[in-house]
A and B are shown apart, each in its own frame.
Chain A
Amino acid sequence: MAVNTHSEPAKMEQIITEFFAKSLHIILESRCPFVSSRNYSGEQLHSTSSSASSSSSIRPRDKWFNLALRDCPAALENTDFWRQSNLEPMVVDVVLVQRPNWDYVSGSSKVAVEQNLLSKDRFPVVWKSDCDEFGCDGYSEKVIERWIVRYESKKGCKEGSLGNKRSSSITSHALYKKSILLLRSLYVTVRLLPGYKIFREISSSGQIRSFSLIHRVSSSVEPLSRRDEAEMQQFTFTPVDTSCGKLCISLLYLPSISDTTSESSTPMSPQFITDYVGSPLADPLKRLPSAPLPQYSPSSSPYGRRHSWSYDTSMASPPSSLPSPSPTYSESRALYSKFGSHRPPISPRYSSLEPAQVHAKDIGYDEYFPSPNFSPSPSPSPPIGSGNMLKVLLRSDSAPVYIPASRLGDAPLSSNKAVLPFSPPLKAIGPSISLVERSSSIPSTATKLSLREEEISRPSGVKISSSSSPHKSSFRSFSRLSFEDSYDDSEFSGPFVVDDDDTMDPGSRPGSSDRSGNLGMQHERVKSQDAAVGALVQMLKKAPPLQQDLNRSQYVSKTSRPEYSSNQVQDHPPRASSNMSSFSRVSGIKTTADALEELKGYVDVKQMLLKQSGKP
């Protein structure tokens, strides 16, 4: 033990100081994915070759409380303040940061890219999913855990006289032993909380996450909103008495993280996405009999990620430009893997919250699928996309709002150790894993704006930096490749395009206008002559590239298929119109007359098809 050489009060004080440091270390070690060396590779878990035995050197820091921890720079740089014998409370907030939800679903990346190519600054919001949380508004933040480590001194006791009065009753050895016990409990508890699953999720796989964890270490308690606090559960460790006070650790935590996600400020919650990505994948066959819109989009392919395309392609892409920037793809994958594969096992544990979730989900569902037609369909993406798209477009007109900036103003952070969520990499910051990399290139808060632009100009790199995985490099290159592809509408050499070809039903391959044209005639379609379809496919394959198609397809679906918009997607008209406006703003390449011209062509084809299929 490291407490031999000093007087009893000095020892006590040192123990208390080290206790703060160790507590912080324990908490951050399992909440700060960037520094984690947690070996999470299945096989090794039960073997002896874990970090426990591999790093056998014991540093002085490890000896404290007989608990050797892994390195955690974030913890080290934050403990200085409390090491200076300031017996102030230490408040550690663990914050879940989520990207705005509509980014996954909207499938609007194509549009987003175009908009940004033309006017980077006008629609910064659209870019959010593709840049990162840094400085972007719309990111939902949620405190999922609040740890408070504090030393409560008894009245009449001053720090300087620690242990003087009743040193006989509590020795430093007793204090030390109990501190060890408390820290062991802390160590175990940290791993049993829902937040640990998020940490694991982030740090264990190579997928790009739609969420990340950041932490703030401060010496003052920034009040949580009443709503947040009401949701949280409290856990208080039994305080350890010292001769002149007591050491306390208390915890507020969200008992269910998925509960959190339903709380996000945007109406679109990951909850919804769970449904959306997960269900087709969970049961691809189930969709076939019930899906009312098999031709609506490539969503007829049995993979969840198709759904992330569906909206995109149905409204924006001609057959030859199926590729869209990879972010959509990776987001949905990431989301799926989190909520699709991991959520079910989580939920039973916090089963008390399940009903609420289900309820929320239902509401969301109903909201977007009022049509009975739609309800059995596990492919809700198009309407979601549309609803969100609308929001995107609406919001894109307003100036970006920096949440962090407002926080700066609100937060009653009194100490120099106060950590601001998105502020740049001053040493006092407890940077989030994903922020760390980034922050090194960012000099100060003042440059936030320019940073944003910089990110916009090379989004893939920045975005990928949030991945702390071994697959990072491959992901990076992949993402960049596909991103570059997206600059060129007519090119589609992204790997996943080939993929699409493999699995896509030839009948649903044709471009958007075909798809929308087919929507209202599923029955006819079944009977329709292959030849006619083939001809249509041929024609569509020769169809001009995306931008023209955008207008066309929107127009078609809006004007010529009223039953579609009313039956299938209630909020379709607003979507179409908003899209129209944005497109005209964006492209402006084709005149309305041109569009109408082409539209007529398609309408004719459709009429022909209808006739043919109706007669035989």
Chain B
Amino acid sequence: MNCEVCQLKELDVEYFEIREVLRCILHTIFFHRALGLVRPKDVDLELFEITYVQCGDAELEKKVDEKIDQFIDRVEKHPNKKNQICLSFFEVKNKQATWFTHKVEHLYWEQWYINLNVAHHPKPHSGKSHHSKLVLDPGESALDERNARRATLESSLHEVLFQIIKFVNEKKDHIPPIPNMEGVSFPYEITISSSSDSAFGMDMFKRMLQTGHPTMLS
């Protein structure tokens, strides 16, 4: 079985925007992957004029929020620029004990990488920079800049949502049979990784070693 990987476009967000952005993206993915019976729930973002869809599954919602809390926590403690959340879907295979010791195996069939570039205000170097990470600047131009930045983010988020839709549309063959549970997604896990630019690849690599490379599992 193939593991399809989707790297979503990186978004420049501010700290306070993380929650909404992640909710929007994660739930949109889940809506396409919770293939049991769902009663969709429309949610309007507060910061952006975007409506996304939830599965209407309270359990799932709770878990997503927990993960987001976790993520925000981590961003706060380790203010790295680049942050990544990976949503992976897998199948659980009870492997017979052969030469390998694992009893339960996760067969990853899909991974979504959400890339966030979180701006941190207190950083001194970001004072008047032209970078998209925006700073709390009490001046007049700051407001304009802020609005412009917000608009940019909104349109980027919009793009990401369409990226999800396109991916879902194009890749359908790798999806395992629908589990016989109502409204519940395929088994999934959400992992968080944040690191500085240089260590980023290393982190990924480590994670790959831990979980096993997807293609090795098929």
A interface residue numbers (CB < 8 A to B): 38, 40, 45-46, 48, 50-53, 55-56, 58, 62-63, 66-69, 173, 177-178, 180-182, 184-185, 187-189, 191-192, 196-197, 200, 237-238, 240, 342, 345-349, 351
Chain A residue numbers with a CB within 8 Å of B32 are 181, 184-185, 188
**Residues A192 and B158 in contact, CB atoms below 8 Å apart:** yes
Residues in B189-210 with C-beta less than 8 Å from chain A: none
Task: Please give me the residue from chain B that is nearest to A342 by CB atom.
Answer: B49
Among candidates A38, A67, A351, residue contacting B151 with C-beta atoms closer than 8 Å: A351
23 A-B contact pairs sorted by A residue (CB < 8 Å): A40-B44, A46-B43, A55-B39, A56-B39, A66-B36, A66-B182, A177-B177, A178-B172, A181-B32, A182-B169, A184-B32, A184-B35, A185-B168, A187-B53, A188-B53, A189-B162, A191-B51, A191-B53, A200-B51, A238-B169, A238-B172, A240-B172, A349-B158
Alpha-carbon distance between A45 and B50 when the two chains are bound, in angstroms: 13
Q: Contacts A181-B168, A189-B165; is A62 near B51 (CB within 8 Å)?
A: no
Whether B73 is near chain A, meaning CB under 8 Å from some CB there, is no
**Residues A237 and B169 in contact, CB atoms below 8 Å apart:** yes
Alpha-carbon distance between A345 and B39 when the two chains are bound, in angstroms: 29
**Residues B36 and A346 in contact, CB atoms below 8 Å apart:** no
Q: Contacts A53-B58, A192-B51, A192-B158; is A67 near B40 (CB within 8 Å)?
A: yes
Whether B54 is near chain A, meaning CB under 8 Å from some CB there, is yes
Least Cβ–Cβ distance between B54 and chain A, in angstroms? 7
Whether B152 is near chain A, meaning CB under 8 Å from some CB there, is yes
Among candidates A68, A177, A182, residue contacting B38 with C-beta atoms closer than 8 Å: A68
Q: Contacts A46-B43, A191-B42; is A66 near B165 (CB within 8 Å)?
A: no
**Dominant SS among interface residues on chain A:** helix
Least Cβ–Cβ distance between A149 and chain B, in angstroms? 15
Alpha-carbon distance between A188 and B169 when the two chains are bound, in angstroms: 12
Whether B41 is near chain A, meaning CB under 8 Å from some CB there, is yes
Least Cβ–Cβ distance between B218 and chain A, in angstroms? 19
* Mask: chain B, 135-155; 1 = CB below 8 Å from A; 0 = not: 000000000000010011011
Least Cβ–Cβ distance between A52 and chain B, in angstroms? 3
Chain A residue numbers with a CB within 8 Å of B42 are 38, 191
Least Cβ–Cβ distance between A151 and chain B, in angstroms? 17
Q: Contacts A48-B58, A188-B31; is A63 near B37 (CB within 8 Å)?
A: yes
Among candidates B37, B44, B154, B158, residue contacting A68 with C-beta atoms closer than 8 Å: B37
Alpha-carbon distance between A53 and B31 when the two chains are bound, in angstroms: 16
Alpha-carbon distance between A68 and B38 when the two chains are bound, in angstroms: 6
Among candidates B35, B148, B151, B182, residue contacting A345 with C-beta atoms closer than 8 Å: B151
Chain A residue numbers with a CB within 8 Å of B104 are none
Q: Contacts A55-B39, A192-B50, A348-B155; is A50 near B56 (CB within 8 Å)?
A: yes
Task: Please give me the residue from chain B that is nearest to A197 by CB atom.
Answer: B49
Alpha-carbon distance between A612 and B164 when the two chains are bound, in angstroms: 74
**Residues B49 and A45 in contact, CB atoms below 8 Å apart:** no
**Residues A238 and B170 in contact, CB atoms below 8 Å apart:** yes
Chain A residue numbers with a CB within 8 Å of B41 are 50-52
Chain A residue numbers with a CB within 8 Å of B31 are 184, 187-188
Chain B residue numbers with a CB within 8 Å of A173 are 177
**Residues B58 and A349 in contact, CB atoms below 8 Å apart:** no
Whether B52 is near chain A, meaning CB under 8 Å from some CB there, is yes
**Residues A177 and B155 in contact, CB atoms below 8 Å apart:** no
**Residues B175 and A349 in contact, CB atoms below 8 Å apart:** no
Task: Please give me the residue from chain A that is nearest to B47 by CB atom.
Answer: A345
Alpha-carbon distance between A345 and B58 when the two chains are bound, in angstroms: 30
Interface centre among A48, A188, A347 (most CB of B within 10 A): A188
Given contacts A184-B168, A187-B31, 5 further A-B contacts (CB under 8 A): A67-B38, A181-B175, A185-B168, A191-B52, A345-B49
Whether B126 is near chain A, meaning CB under 8 Å from some CB there, is no
**Residues B170 and A66 in contact, CB atoms below 8 Å apart:** no
Least Cβ–Cβ distance between A556 and chain B, in angstroms? 44
Q: Contacts A188-B161, A191-B52, A349-B155; is A181 near B35 (CB within 8 Å)?
A: yes
Least Cβ–Cβ distance between A398 and chain B, in angstroms? 41
Chain B residue numbers with a CB within 8 Å of A62 are 37, 39
Alpha-carbon distance between A181 and B56 when the two chains are bound, in angstroms: 17
**Residues B155 and A52 in contact, CB atoms below 8 Å apart:** no
Whether B2 is near chain A, meaning CB under 8 Å from some CB there, is no
Chain B residue numbers with a CB within 8 Å of A48 are 58, 61
Whether B28 is near chain A, meaning CB under 8 Å from some CB there, is yes
Q: Contacts A185-B168, A188-B32; is A196 near B51 (CB within 8 Å)?
A: yes
**Residues A52 and B56 in contact, CB atoms below 8 Å apart:** yes
Chain B residue numbers with a CB within 8 Å of A188 are 28, 31-32, 52-53, 161, 164-165
* Mask: chain B, 55-72; 1 = CB below 8 Å from A; 0 = not: 010100100000000000
Chain A residue numbers with a CB within 8 Å of B152 are 348
**Residues A66 and B158 in contact, CB atoms below 8 Å apart:** no
Least Cβ–Cβ distance between B10 and chain A, in angstroms? 18
Alpha-carbon distance between A68 and B56 when the two chains are bound, in angstroms: 10
Q: Contacts A52-B54, A185-B168, A191-B42; is A66 near B37 (CB within 8 Å)?
A: yes
Chain A residue numbers with a CB within 8 Å of B44 are 40, 45, 200
Alpha-carbon distance between A58 and B36 when the two chains are bound, in angstroms: 13
Alpha-carbon distance between A68 and B36 when the two chains are bound, in angstroms: 10
Q: Contacts A50-B56, A185-B32; is A349 near B151 (CB within 8 Å)?
A: yes
* Mask: chain B, 167-189; 1 = CB below 8 Å from A; 0 = not: 01110100101100010000000
**Residues B35 and A180 in contact, CB atoms below 8 Å apart:** yes
Chain B residue numbers with a CB within 8 Å of A53 are 39, 56, 58
**Residues A346 and B49 in contact, CB atoms below 8 Å apart:** yes
**Residues B155 and A351 in contact, CB atoms below 8 Å apart:** yes
Q: Contacts A177-B177, A181-B168, A181-B172; is A68 near B52 (CB within 8 Å)?
A: no
Alpha-carbon distance between A196 and B161 when the two chains are bound, in angstroms: 15
Least Cβ–Cβ distance between B118 and chain A, in angstroms? 21
Alpha-carbon distance between A348 and B155 when the two chains are bound, in angstroms: 7
Task: Please give me the residue from chain B that is nearest to A67 by CB atom.
Answer: B38
Q: Contacts A192-B50, A196-B51, A345-B49; is A187 near B158 (CB within 8 Å)?
A: no
Least Cβ–Cβ distance between A404 and chain B, in angstroms? 32
Chain B residue numbers with a CB within 8 Å of A56 are 39
Task: Please give me the residue from chain B that is nearest to A68 by CB atom.
Answer: B39
Task: Please give me the residue from chain B that is nearest to A182 by CB atom.
Answer: B169
Alpha-carbon distance between A81 and B164 when the two chains are bound, in angstroms: 33
Alpha-carbon distance between A211 and B50 when the two chains are bound, in angstroms: 21
Alpha-carbon distance between A440 and B31 when the two chains are bound, in angstroms: 38
Least Cβ–Cβ distance between A437 and chain B, in angstroms? 25
Alpha-carbon distance between A237 and B162 when the two chains are bound, in angstroms: 11
Alpha-carbon distance between A196 and B36 when the two chains are bound, in angstroms: 26
**Residues A66 and B35 in contact, CB atoms below 8 Å apart:** yes
Least Cβ–Cβ distance between A204 and chain B, in angstroms? 10
Task: Please give me the residue from chain A that is nearest to B178 by CB atom.
Answer: A177
Alpha-carbon distance between A189 and B42 when the two chains are bound, in angstroms: 12
Alpha-carbon distance between A182 and B165 when the two chains are bound, in angstroms: 9
Least Cβ–Cβ distance between B46 and chain A, in angstroms? 8
Task: Please give me the residue from chain A that is nearest to B62 by CB atom.
Answer: A48
Least Cβ–Cβ distance between B107 and chain A, in angstroms? 18
Chain B residue numbers with a CB within 8 Å of A55 are 39
Chain B residue numbers with a CB within 8 Å of A69 are 40
Task: Please give me the residue from chain A that is nearest to B48 by CB atom.
Answer: A345
